Structure 1
Amino acid sequence: MERKLEIVKTKTENYTIKVDGVFIHSKYDPLREAETFAIKNIELIKNSRYIVIYGFGLGYHIEAVLRHMNEESMLAVFDADLEVIKEAKKQSLYKKLIKNPRLKCFFDYGDEFLKEFSKSLSLAKNIIIYRPSLKVLPEEFGHMARLLKGYELAKIEIEKHGKLAEYNYDMNLKKTHKKMQDFLSFYSFGCENIVLVSSGPSLDYNIESLKKVRDRVKIFCAGSAAEFLIKNHIIPDMICIIDPQDIVYTQLQSILNKNIPLCFLSSACSRVVSEWSGEKFLFFNDFNAARENNDVVVETGKSVATAILSIAVLKKPKKVIFIGQDLAYLNGKSHHDNYGSSQSSGIKKVRSVDGEYLETNEGFLYFKSWIEQKIMKSKDIEFINCSSGAEIKGTIASKLIDAIK
């Protein structure tokens, strides 16, 4: 369906833009609205050397932010909506802003855009989202919208658990641990089939099949699924944790003495790390921290399930096989039976591997989009989805036994 874009003159003799009936800037006073936006985000603007904003619109709020920034700060602005940007470029304000040496703009959505976006976020403390731009973003850029919503979800988690994560980071770095580069070099997983075990409800259906193919695969396991595997006499080749909370200790308490490699995010639960008896490999999801420690960065995607995918991709195996990566509710459940309470709260629908539609939520859709982008960038690996939930683009849907054959 064709979008309708209108440039509208405001009561203050400025111009605003309306997309399918939605105003991106105030129809009364866009300059005043822009100043309010800048003041609302003043802590991020004043206390950051590198500021990231999603949403350019016609640029009024960008001008306001530049006015409040420190002289030595840089501002990176991303916007995938080229139709809106085309209109912005016709305005005199754009021509003025683009000459500012403290401003970098990224509008050409694609691999380079996403690479720069990821790099900018590693340099910035946070991202400022200009919500009207996100509201009118076309569905073809759904990945970008979900990426931004994912960062908002992560921001909420940081606000809830930030101090605990900082404590864990300090405790984990007090001791010398092997690094991710050591894990990648030491363990020979190249040219193998790596099975990624997540905690979705279909894990229950795959346990017997996993036993049958155990000697032909390597298993990377989310911490939340580890006890369940071991109870079923399946010993994973690696367990991964990223959560700073003590719930991770509760999940792994019964298997702390197992001689299994543990890969852990620098801010993950330090109690688990200190008591783990197997080999331990610390990793960073921050480019600067990884570089300072002479290590590779592991993009966690804000989930342990996506973290094990990143680690697997770094090993460059022949096949990566998903089980328990449902990204939806199956029979009203979000996790396997051993996980605990996991009732449905889905308010969205997603196409399943069987072509039906399942209940899901914004968080699952964000992870789905993240996984699909990671797959798209990993050209030489075959990805097979042996879960029973959402369809994952770039994967072949299959039964686990058939995938190994």
Structure 2
Amino acid sequence: MSQDFNIEVVTSKSSLPTLKVNDYYLHSKYDPKKEAEQFVNNHFAENKVHILFGYGYGYFAKAFKDKCKENEHLLIIDPIYKEIESVITQEDFEIISDVNEKNIEMALGNLLKDLNLKVKVICSPNYDKFLSKEYKMVLKIVKEILSVKKIYLNTINYFAEMWQENYIRNIYHIFEDESLSVLENYYNMPVVIASGGPSLIKQIPLLKKMQNHVIIIAAGSTVNTLLHYNIEADFIVSVDGSLANFKHFENNIFENSHLIYSVKNHYDIKNQFKKSSFSFIPVFEPGVYEHIEQMTQKQLPTLLGGASVANYAFVIAQYISSGPIALIGQDLAYTNNQTHAKYNKYFANIDDDDKKIRGTFYTEGYNGDKVLTDLPFTSMKKDFENIVESINKKGRFFNCTEGGVKIKGFTQISFSDFGEFIDLSEEKNLNLVQKANTKTINDWENLCFRIQSEIQIYNEIEKLLNKGLVYLEGSLVKEKFTSNVLKGLEQVDKKIKKLFKTVSMNSILDPIIIDIINNYPSIKGETEQENYMRVYNQNSSLYKGLLNAIKLSKIYTKDLLEKVKKEKLGGV
């Protein structure tokens, strides 16, 4: 920090030390401890994450910490902490002194793991007087983090059942297809990742010239733009489980492209591909790896990704090839007021009303100019930058979009300059043999047995949940949890927890768990009866939510069983 600070330790009227910075008192001149108690009583909010801007001598921080309960947290940010730490009595606090987006996002992200978006920012007295710029920066960063988290939370709530259905139905394809692990470090060739930004169109002529000499990976919906220009990608990456994503593929039969898909990709997309396909697990899918191995007898790689299919395409490019990698069409901006490249089914021109609805703003562009973007695009950009930062071999990554936002960590060169890495005299050979179906009748029968075992586990969980509801209903008579009820519920919960570890239901359970955590907070001063009703409603809502999730998962799993029997075992 370039700003100079005149820091003084001053003794208050109550003999406690206080701080003075650039003639501003950070605490009371009379009784800083009493002031802190009053300050916290005025600003403390139950069941929230508190962000305190300004540590000072620590009085406010200590008073907040003493008031926080188990589900309440305190994050302290102080840009001048390193300047003052030598003159104060230090307490055991973790303090962010290097104020930047990454540090705040990491610290706040750890406190919002349960997706509780209840956050309150409090500025210690006078800190906003001499650190106005930094305080405004913190407010802006926190607002952006919470906006992205809210989008993620809405996504979870909207797609939970869809993801569960895709996952279960995709077991059929995963069992039959290859694991992406067979392509790990398989190639040493240049890779071009084509994404669906507006700038893709101007790179099409050169891509057509290169297409027989580089590996082309298409990111999801980009396929229709490429097909319009008679370019069929070697690999098409798809991770989106929505019906809208399937619509990009439904009218096409891909004769030459290989699909690379995540386990929760829309299950019907696989049927549009004639050649071999490959599956993987996104790294943020707890419990899936073990379940997939149990069900399909395969080990799928877990890959880091992000908010966009293009993030996954980039990681996959590194996974399968050691050659240089170029991004094209990766605008992450509304270039020419367009959402996508032409012939993408999402293509649209945006007007001023659209810009307001999308919450657009300007940011640094590829060419050093200012370009129009929004929070979802910014989230994808950050994911690219985080992925690059986690990789050692950064010199082989090139952003050849020639438009859109500037993405840190990528070398910016023109697409024609990337051509210098390509040997046009050598035709590419993917060397992928279309394998005959090597699964035997016995293999499919064994899969059926494992599916039937899964259905039996669902039945057992269903019985236990109904038993738990009976215990809860019994407690209503006395409006309290008797020792027998508590013991019964404890046994039910213990058995359910054990059984849930043997199935994979994280996607469909997430909204239920988030609801239980966030919507039944303890209330200050609640009576014994109010406490009973809150806990009763919380547990009742949990069991009923889990019952619905089990019933849906059982339907999808029975459908999977019937599909295997009908298509592979002659309807047996």
Say if 1:90 and 1:245 are closer, same or farther in 2 by CA, change over 3 A: farther
Q: Is the 8 A contact 1:147 1:366 kept in 2?
A: no
What is the match of residue 326 of structure 2? 321
In 1, Cα distance between the equivalents of 2:220 and 2:111?
26
CA positional deviation for 1:190:
3.5
The structure in which a higher percent of residues are strand is: 1
Q: Is the 8 A contact 1:244 1:269 kept in 2?
A: yes
What TM-score results when the alignment is normalised by the length of structure 1?
0.72
Question: Larger C-alpha radius of gyration, 1 or 2?
Answer: 2
What is the match of residue 130 of structure 1? 119
Say if 1:67 and 1:151 are closer, same or farther in 2 by CA, change over 3 A: closer
Unaligned runs of 5+ in 1: 17-27, 42-52, 70-74, 99-104
The answer to whether residue 410 in structure 2 is matched with residue 395 in structure 1 is: yes
**Matched residues, number:** 364
Correspondence for 2:196 among 199, 206, 210: 199
Q: Is the 8 A contact 1:192 1:319 kept in 2?
A: yes
Correspondence for 2:149 among 148, 151, 165: 151
Give the letter for the 1:7 counterpart.
L
In 2, Cα distance between the equivalents of 1:265 and 1:143?
31
CA positional deviation for 1:245:
1.4
Encode CA deviations 1:30-86: one digit per residue, 9 max, x unaligned: 2464342x1xx6xxxxxxxxxxx69565656665554348xxxxx8x8777664698
What is the match of residue 379 of structure 2? 366
CA positional deviation for 1:169:
2.5
Give the letter for the 2:398 counterpart.
I
Say if 1:13 and 1:302 are closer, same or farther in 2 by CA, change over 3 A: same
What is the match of residue 218 of structure 2? 221
What is the match of residue 46 of structure 1? none
Encode CA deviations 1:244-287: one digit per residue, 9 max, x unaligned: 21111111112244342222222222232455444141422325
User: Please, what is the CA RMSD of the aligned residues?
Assistant: 4.4
In 1, Cα distance between the equivalents of 2:27 and 2:191?
56
Give the letter for the 2:367 counterpart.
D
Structure 1 range deviating more: 128-137 or 152-161: 128-137
CA positional deviation for 1:148:
5.8
Correspondence for 2:397 among 362, 383, 387: 383
Q: Is the 8 A contact 1:248 1:269 kept in 2?
A: yes
Unaligned runs of 5+ in 2: 6-20, 54-59, 124-132, 294-298, 421-572
Correspondence for 1:238 among 231, 235, 247: 235
SS of structure 2 residue aligned to 1:355: coil
| Matching of residues 6-405 of structure 1 within 5 Å | 7-8=26-27, 13-15=34-36, 29-31=39-41, 33-36=43-46, 38=47, 55=51, 66-68=69-71, 83=80, 95=91, 117=106, 124-126=113-115, 128=117, 130-132=119-121, 149-173=147-171, 176-177=174-175, 182-186=179-183, 189-273=186-270, 276-278=273-275, 279-286=277-284, 288-289=286-287, 291-292=289-290, 293=293, 294-315=299-320, 317-339=322-344, 340-344=346-350, 345=355, 347-381=360-394, 382-387=396-401, 388-405=403-420
Q: Is the 8 A contact 1:238 1:261 kept in 2?
A: yes
Encode CA deviations 1:358-380: one digit per residue, 9 max, x unaligned: 11112222222221222222231
SS of structure 2 residue aligned to 1:300: coil
CA positional deviation for 1:347:
3.0
In 2, Cα distance between the equivalents of 1:280 and 1:106?
45
CA positional deviation for 1:211:
0.7
Q: Is the 8 A contact 2:362 2:372 kept in 1?
A: yes
Say if 1:269 and 1:395 are closer, same or farther in 2 by CA, change over 3 A: same
SS of structure 2 residue aligned to 1:239: strand
Give the letter for the 1:260 counterpart.
S
Q: Is the 8 A contact 2:241 2:265 kept in 1?
A: yes
What is the match of residue 25 of structure 1? none
SS of structure 2 residue aligned to 1:264: strand
In 2, Cα distance between the equivalents of 1:173 and 1:361?
36
SS of structure 1 residue aligned to 2:279: strand
Q: Is the 8 A contact 1:301 1:307 kept in 2?
A: yes
In 1, Cα distance between the equivalents of 2:188 and 2:111?
31
Encode CA deviations 1:289-320: one digit per residue, 9 max, x unaligned: 35535543222211111121122233352312
The structure in which a higher percent of residues are helix is: 2
Give the letter for the 1:165 counterpart.
W
Give the letter for the 1:366 counterpart.
S
